[in-house]
A and B are shown apart, each in its own frame.
Chain A
Amino acid sequence: MSASLDKGVRVLKEVIDAPIASYFSSCVHCGLCAEACLFYTETGDPKYTPIHKLEPMRRLYEQEYTLIGRLKKVLGLSKPVTDAELGEWQELVYNSCTLCGRCSLVCPVGNDIVYMVRKFREGMAVSGHAPEGIVEATRRTVSTGSPMGVTMHAVKAQMKHVEEETGISIPLDVEGVEYMVLLSSMEIINFPEYLSAIARIMKHAGKTWTLCSTGFEATNSGIQIGVSDLAKTIVSRIVEGAERLKVKTVISPECGHAYTALRWEGPNLIGRPFTFKVQHIVEVLDELRTQGLLKTEGFETDRLTFHDPCQLARRGGVIQPQRNLINMVAKNFVEMPDAGKMNWCCGGGGGVTAIERAEALRIEAFKKKKSQLEAVKPDRLVTACAVCRTTLEEGLEYYQMNIPVVGLTEIIAEHLPEQGA
């Protein structure tokens, strides 16, 4: 056994807990999880059946934690997990899984399959079987502060740009404000309209807020790749920043997995509860709406639909707020089939967009989104995750569908009453 495999096996043994043992013991090989996975439904290849993606981990569980498995191991009747096998499984554990969690909602025996894939990735990463692309993104986040290599200089340039455009000054490192706003690299590079929208909305609502120079990046590829100590390093920057600035709430940007990383995994990564609240921007906006602090005027009249980011809706529990917000500004909002909790993934989450070799498969899997969109024929597609947005734009471009994709926050900002009103 190679040293890295040995480490991987050790990590896997550590992450196997009672839920995983219960899940493996419950699986009856009914195969229904395949029907919930877009990588199976769009390719028809049984190897993409979610529970099959965990086969090496299942065997390890059996060999290490069950009486019969240990007996078989002693008698030489079991097949040990090998480096070659884990290498082969990379495609199944990373390329063809976006951690969307749809499988976990359909399993009749109740297995939370995505919970297991997330844990399996811990062992895969330590044994050196994580894909190059996400490894690089994580390395860049640890060394430069962002997966795309965006530094504070780039953020400052964008702040300046937004200040010029809106005439609103962007607060940086201000202590004792209500909100600390995070960004995702994707927003800094591709979607500068997000920061501009935040500035205008906060001014309109009369809320105090700040960016933090030591913790501006919300994305955390550490959780996508499955390395908890790196994920912890990345999330700690935000925690330290928020505690130093004594903010009440940290706002996770329009990014799905950043929300999961901070809101649900964050306290577990650092080993203690947060002293501040974490909300996705969509939750904040809906809260401002119910407090009467967010008012809009005018309506979009074209046909809009909403793509629920998996980590926000199914994995994050934010389902109604985005609908309340769209209905504030849209006259013609339609839901795609399976919208909400059961929505289909764009195919790019869980780090998949960072894996070059997964591109062809991702485009294939996009046919699911395509068919959902064809069912409602929207003029524009609204979403609340920068990775979804990029993946959707690429997919739509590939299939030559002319549907512009917009972020929810910016569409709300466009309908703020005129300044001074």
Chain B
Amino acid sequence: MNELQFLTWVRGTGLNVAVGVFLLGVFWRLIEIYGLGRKKDLSAPRHVAGASGWHTIFRRSIPAQGMLKKSPVGYIGGFAFHIGLAIVVLLFAPHIKLIQSLTGLSWPGLPSQFIDLVAVVTLAAMVVVLADRINKPVKRFLSTFEDWFTWAVTFLPLLTGWLSVRHLLLPYPTMLALHILSVEILLIVLPFTKLFHAFTVFGSRWYNGAVNGHKGVAV
């Protein structure tokens, strides 16, 4: 297989397989998790339950009182890399074109120089959070193969994407193909690893907010 055939494969069969596994995987995991249900709470609520679950979905994005000081690298690095990733994935013009070709939806992108800067910052933030994971005794203690692996499959699409835009290291078609391949690996891995928090984070925050809101505690 030459480089163009490789590129054609990742853009065709590869992408179809990856998107298929991703969609089925997400669907399956959501059913597997939320299908377990929960018992109704029979205790009288302190207040009418209201929107406490929804509030927590937003509120938890802000560090709890005193926590930023305890783990500045974790919070700032985490913010930088999540926001950076969202900008690069969703606001880079070629990505929007791809999404448009698949779904028909489109929106304005950001200038590519700006995206380039964000990509560099995001890559740096990811290296920093990795270093933090290695350095901090608690994080190192908790880390398993999955933590290192999921870091790598998140880092690689970002790195290869940036290298291909910059035409560095390898010929453009090869680097672009590697970029698409790495995204496909990410898509396949996401539903079955901790990366699935991209979906369950909303459910988890909601449950926590609702259960504690029932008692009158805004969490």
Taking the complex as formed, is A34 at the interface, i.e. its CB lies under 8 A from any CB of chain B?
Answer: yes
Q: Which residues of A contact B143 (CB under 8 A)?
A: 29
Taking the complex as formed, is A323 at the interface, i.e. its CB lies under 8 A from any CB of chain B?
Answer: no
A47–B33 contact, CB under 8 A?
A: no
Among the interface residues A25, A66, A263, A319, which one has the most CB atoms of the partner chain B within 10 A? A25
B42–A109 contact, CB under 8 A?
A: no
B139–A35 contact, CB under 8 A?
A: no
Contact of B141 among A35, A52, A314, A342 (CB under 8 A): A52
A36–B74 alpha-carbon span in the complex (Å): 14
Contact of A112 among B34, B41, B211 (CB under 8 A): B211
Taking the complex as formed, is A17 at the interface, i.e. its CB lies under 8 A from any CB of chain B?
Answer: yes
Question: Can you list the 7 inter-chain pairs with the closest CB atoms, starting with the nearest?
Answer: A317-B216, A110-B205, A46-B141, A31-B138, A267-B42, A19-B207, A110-B204
Q: Which residues of A contact B137 (CB under 8 A)?
A: 44, 46
Chain A min CB distance to B185 (Å): 16
Contact of B197 among A26, A49, A68, A342 (CB under 8 A): A26
Q: Which residues of A contact B36 (CB under 8 A)?
A: 16-18, 20-21, 65
20 more CB-based (< 8 A) A-B contacts, given A44-B137, A111-B208, A264-B215: A17-B36, A18-B203, A19-B207, A30-B74, A30-B78, A32-B67, A36-B67, A46-B140, A49-B141, A65-B32, A66-B32, A106-B64, A107-B60, A108-B60, A109-B201, A110-B208, A264-B43, A265-B43, A267-B42, A268-B42
Chain B residues in contact with chain A, CB under 8 A?
28-29, 32-39, 41-44, 46, 56-57, 60-61, 63-67, 70-71, 74, 78, 136-144, 147, 192, 194, 196-197, 200-201, 203-209, 211-212, 215-219
Q: Which residues of A contact B208 (CB under 8 A)?
A: 19, 104, 107, 110-112, 115
Question: Contacts A21-B36, A25-B196, A46-B138; is A263 near B43 (CB within 8 Å)?
Answer: yes
Within A241-274, the residues touching B (CB, 8 Å) are 263-268, 271-274
Q: Which residues of A contact B147 (CB under 8 A)?
A: 28-29
Taking the complex as formed, is A22 at the interface, i.e. its CB lies under 8 A from any CB of chain B?
Answer: yes
Chain A min CB distance to B149 (Å): 12
A140–B130 alpha-carbon span in the complex (Å): 51
Q: Which residues of B contact A46 (CB under 8 A)?
A: 137-138, 140-142
Q: Which residues of A contact B139 (CB under 8 A)?
A: 29-31
Chain B min CB distance to A14 (Å): 11
Q: Which residues of A contact B215 (CB under 8 A)?
A: 264, 315-317
Chain A min CB distance to B58 (Å): 11
Chain A min CB distance to B8 (Å): 31
Q: Which residues of B contact A205 (CB under 8 A)?
A: none
Question: Contacts A32-B74, A34-B138, A317-B46; is A21 near B39 (CB within 8 Å)?
Answer: no
Taking the complex as formed, is A338 at the interface, i.e. its CB lies under 8 A from any CB of chain B?
Answer: yes
Q: Can you spell out 12 A-B residue pairs with CB atoms less than 8 angstroms apart?
A: A21-B34, A25-B200, A26-B197, A31-B138, A35-B70, A66-B29, A68-B192, A268-B41, A274-B43, A314-B217, A316-B215, A341-B218
A28–B65 contact, CB under 8 A?
A: no
Q: Which residues of A contact B204 (CB under 8 A)?
A: 19, 22-23, 25-26, 109-112
A49–B207 alpha-carbon span in the complex (Å): 22
Question: Contacts A17-B37, A106-B67, A316-B215; is A51 near B142 (CB within 8 Å)?
Answer: yes
A104–B216 contact, CB under 8 A?
A: no
Contact of A342 among B32, B43, B65 (CB under 8 A): B65
Residue of A nearest to B66 (CB): A338
Taking the complex as formed, is A27 at the interface, i.e. its CB lies under 8 A from any CB of chain B?
Answer: yes
A19–B78 alpha-carbon span in the complex (Å): 24
Contact of B43 among A22, A28, A273 (CB under 8 A): A273
Q: Which residues of B contact A105 (CB under 8 A)?
A: 64, 219
A266–B43 alpha-carbon span in the complex (Å): 7
Taking the complex as formed, is A67 at the interface, i.e. its CB lies under 8 A from any CB of chain B?
Answer: yes
Question: Contacts A65-B32, A104-B212, A316-B215; is A22 near B207 (CB within 8 Å)?
Answer: yes
Q: Which residues of B contact A23 (CB under 8 A)?
A: 204, 207
Taking the complex as formed, is A191 at the interface, i.e. its CB lies under 8 A from any CB of chain B?
Answer: no
Q: Which residues of B contact A32 (CB under 8 A)?
A: 67, 70-71, 74
B142–A18 contact, CB under 8 A?
A: no
Residue of B nearest to A266 (CB): B43
Q: Which residues of A contact B43 (CB under 8 A)?
A: 263-268, 273-274
A29–B194 contact, CB under 8 A?
A: yes
Chain A min CB distance to B196 (Å): 5
Q: Which residues of B contact A67 (CB under 8 A)?
A: 28, 32, 192
B138–A21 contact, CB under 8 A?
A: no
Residue of A nearest to B209 (CB): A110
Question: Contacts A26-B200, A110-B204, A264-B215; is A18 near B138 (CB within 8 Å)?
Answer: no
A109–B205 contact, CB under 8 A?
A: yes
A342–B217 alpha-carbon span in the complex (Å): 11
A90–B191 alpha-carbon span in the complex (Å): 32
B33–A21 contact, CB under 8 A?
A: yes
Q: Which residues of B contact A106 (CB under 8 A)?
A: 63-64, 67
Q: Which residues of A contact B142 (CB under 8 A)?
A: 29, 31, 46, 49, 51-52
A341–B65 alpha-carbon span in the complex (Å): 10
A5–B139 alpha-carbon span in the complex (Å): 31
Chain A min CB distance to B51 (Å): 15
Residue of A nearest to B214 (CB): A264
Q: Which residues of B contact A66 (CB under 8 A)?
A: 29, 32
A316–B43 alpha-carbon span in the complex (Å): 12
A271–B42 contact, CB under 8 A?
A: yes
Residue of A nearest to B146 (CB): A29
A17–B57 alpha-carbon span in the complex (Å): 20
B39–A110 contact, CB under 8 A?
A: no
B65–A21 contact, CB under 8 A?
A: no
A261–B48 alpha-carbon span in the complex (Å): 21
Q: Which residues of A contact B71 (CB under 8 A)?
A: 31-32, 35
A106–B59 alpha-carbon span in the complex (Å): 11
Q: Which residues of B contact A264 (CB under 8 A)?
A: 43, 215
